[in-house]
Amino acid sequence: MAVAQQAFGQWGEFFGRERGDIMERAAQILQRRLPEFVAMEVEQIGRPCREMAAQLARAPEWFSYFGSLARTHEDTVPPFGRSHLH
């Protein structure tokens, strides 16, 4: 926990775009190091390499997706009237 806290600072104090940038960077690192993580997981749990590669390949996508959400989330709902969506 201490290392993560030091690396990321006070996550709750970051603006959405800063969180999004961090999560996008994590996605890039995960993508680049995916073969290492697949090998570690196969060694640790004995799952077939093909299955593990397919499962872990989605992790960078999720980090990127939630990073995008963090960049666009404003924590407010605009006060649109009913006719706005018609």
User: pLDDT, tens digit, for every residue of 32-76?
Assistant: 999 999 999 999 999 999 999 999 999 999 999 999 888 886 655
Q: pTM value?
A: 0.69
Phi, psi of 70 (to 5 degrees): -60, -35
What pLDDT, on a 0 to 100 scale, did the predictor assign at position 83? 59
Residues near 60 by beta carbon (within 8 Å), at least 6 away in sequence: 27, 28, 30, 31, 34
Q: What angle do CA 14, 70, 8 make, to 5 degrees?
A: 35
What pLDDT, on a 0 to 100 scale, did the predictor assign at position 53? 93
Domain ranges, ordered by start, for the chain = 34-70
